[in-house]
Amino acid sequence: MLLFLLFLLAAGEAAAAAAATTLTATPAKLTQSDREITIRWSGLPDPDGLDYVGIYSPPTSSDRDFLGYLFLNGSATWRTGTGELTLPRLPNLRAPYQFRLFRWPAREYSYHHIDHDGNPLPHGRHRVAASGEVAFDSPSRPDQVHLSFADGVDEMRVMFVCGDGGRRVVRYGPAKEEGEGWKEVAAEVRTYEQKHMCDSPANSSVGWRDPGFVFDGLMKGLEPGRRYFYKVGSNSSGWSDTYSFISRDNEANETIAFLFGDMGTYIPYNTYVRTQDESLSTVKWILRDIQALGDKPAFISHIGDISYARGYAWVWDHFFNQIEPIAANTPYHVCIGNHEYDWPLQPWKPWWATGIYGTDGGGECGIPYSVKFRMPGNSFVPTGNGAPDTRNLYYSFDSGVVHFVYMSTETNFVQGSEQYNFIKADLEKVNRSRTPFVVFQGHRPMYTSSDEARDAALKQQMLQHLEPLLVTYNVTLALWGHVHRYERFCPMKNFQCVNTSSSFQYSGAPVHLVIGMGGQDWQPIWQPTA
């Protein structure tokens, strides 16, 4: 009886606190010009340093299924029970946001519910206030616009996301203002569902969110090395901004590319996984350098571990919003990494791969990567669980004086596989008089000073099956990510330096670079940055 009375007393206190506390979020309707959201609360009795605001979308999400959270102690006045926090404009998740204020007593810390760095996560038990909804004024307007090369040298692909699957088009032309010379092409549309995810958290209520509809438009008949302008959308559902790009010029006598791996995503709140603040700097400096190029064509090459969503769907939305300033104006190319694909039941797990391919993909099994990007070629493998095929595995293209080849280190590459046969045939037919330089790219490195045990067997297989191709066909440069640092090796063959000269003369084996320094690090978020 005494325990029951204590329970009623605690419930009454919580109800009184909830009645007295208010929480608001403004603006209630987000327009294109709104750059931040302001969260205010008042009347919170006996505030504690662990009290927090949870971030939710859609508003029907349970208290436990938050996107992320902010501690109230981020406000200078939190001890008074009144305060204010601001968030940068959040991605359009095709549903409104809601914010909820919770108490989190220290005695309820649990190390059974933890984030990526082992820190306790809020449990969502003691809600005391909730805000109204924050919605987008044009939820179906095109978003997350990004370009890539296509199979034809006179083509450019543009992809974008909308809140519905209705008809959308791409309009493009050589003049800044829409009019004479502009063309219109319809965009294809596709999406994926929660049932297509292969494991948790990607297929759970915590990690899954509606990805919207991904549109794919192909601009054709482009003259080489010329600036074109374009926009995407429809009259009924709204248009994107007008963007521009320089078309591919395979006759150019130079090639400009921005190459890196392992960038990730900045997220302005705490969430289930470690996110990458440094990725903001990567985008900032690339944008600065692209703008300085003027009308010179360039492209971006991000070789694996793209968003680090790890099965939390909305991280992809943050990522594409983050790269849009560069990717809407410059082709953005990717290859698959462990954090896009790996899961315990992936189809290709040879005898030597024990411990190599794990749960790094967070249960996505390559589906978001395969639908949200479309690279040249048509490489794919079945997921093995009935979901859409995993795509964008291996492909190649020419840009100026360089032939670029991309591979997948996560799927079969050994001699006799489809990927091996593609790489061999592709390298055999390179026109070295037109593209004297060949750059080969993949995620996990063939050479690195990292001694991580779980990659040792894979490196050995790459040396056995792929290195002979790189040497035989005179690959100039091999680029790798996965190891979060920059490393440069001499021309390598069978673990031996072929030549240590600093000249650019080809010396019989490719130079290897590890370029996994795009933004991810291994430092826990609670450690101070050195």
The arithmetic mean of pLDDT across residues 504-513, rounded, is 82
Domain that holds residue 30: 22-136
Structural domain includes residue 166:
yes
- Within a domain: 53: yes
Mean pLDDT of 502-517: 83
DSSP secondary structure letters along 89-138: PPP--SS-BEEEEEE--GGG--TTSB-TTSPBPP---EEEEE---BEES-
Asked whether residue 52 is assigned to any structural domain, the reply reads yes
Q: 95, 115, 136 — which closes off a domain? A: 136
Of 93, 120, 136, the position where a domain reaches its end is: 136
Return the CATH number at 59: 2.60.40.2840
Please give the average per-residue pLDDT across 33-43, as a whole number: 94
**Pair 117, 147 in one domain:** no
Give the β-pairing of 156-162 and 169-173.
unpaired
* pLDDT value of position 151: 97
Same structural domain, 117 and 250: no
| Residues 96 and 184 grouped into a single domain | no
- Count of structural domains within the chain: 2
pLDDT classification of 2: cutoffs 50, 70, 90: very low
Does some domain include residue 326? yes
pLDDT at 260 over 90: yes
Query: Tell me, what CATH number does 291's domain have?
Result: 3.60.21.10
Give the Cα separation of 341 and 363 in Å (integer).
Answer: 8
Does the residue 7 lie in any domain? no
More confident residue, 9 or 306: 306
For residues 127 and 255, membership in a common domain is answered with no
Residue type, 91: P
Q: Has residue 131 been placed in a domain? A: yes
Residue 528: predicted pLDDT: 52
Mean confidence (pLDDT) of the chain:
92
What are the tokens at 28? 């209630």
126 and 148 in a single domain? The answer is no
Q: Are 251 and 224 in contact (CB under 8 A)?
A: yes
Q: In terms of domains, do 378 and 235 share one?
A: yes
pLDDT reading at 19 higher than 80: no
pLDDT of residue 523: 53
In which residue are the tokens 């209520």 written? 205
Average pLDDT over residues 242-259: 96
Query: Same domain for 268 and 357?
Result: yes
Q: How confident is residue 524, by pLDDT bands cut at 50, 70 and 90? A: low
Q: Looking at the structure, do residues 337 and 309 belong to the same domain, yes or no?
A: yes
**Residue 9 — pLDDT band, cuts 50, 70, 90?**
very low
Q: Taking 60 as the threshold, does the pLDDT of residue 8 lie above it?
A: no
Residues 76 and 176 in one domain: no
What does the pLDDT look like over 262-320, one tens digit per residue? 999 999 999 999 999 999 999 999 999 999 999 999 999 999 999 999 999 999 999 99
Judgement on whether residues 59 and 208 belong to the same structural domain of the protein: no
- The model carries a pTM of 0.94
Boundary residue ending a domain (81, 112, 136): 136
For residue 198, being part of any structural domain is answered with yes
Single-letter amino acid, residue 84: E
- Average pLDDT of 216-240? 97
**Length of the chain in terms of residues written:** 530
Tell me: the pLDDT tens digits for 154-211? 999 999 999 999 999 999 999 998 888 999 999 999 999 999 999 999 999 999 999 9
Q: Is residue 325 reached through a cis peptide bond, with omega within 30 degrees of 0 on the bond before it?
A: no
pLDDT tens profile 429-476: 999 999 999 999 999 999 999 877 788 899 999 999 999 999 999 999
**SS3 state of residue 405:** strand
* Residue 10 resides in a domain: no
- Give yes or no: residues 211 and 258 share one domain: yes
- What is d(CA 239, CA 169) in angstroms, rounded to the nearest whole number? 9
| % residues pLDDT > 90 (the chain) | 80
Clarify whether residues 282 and 332 are in a common domain.
yes
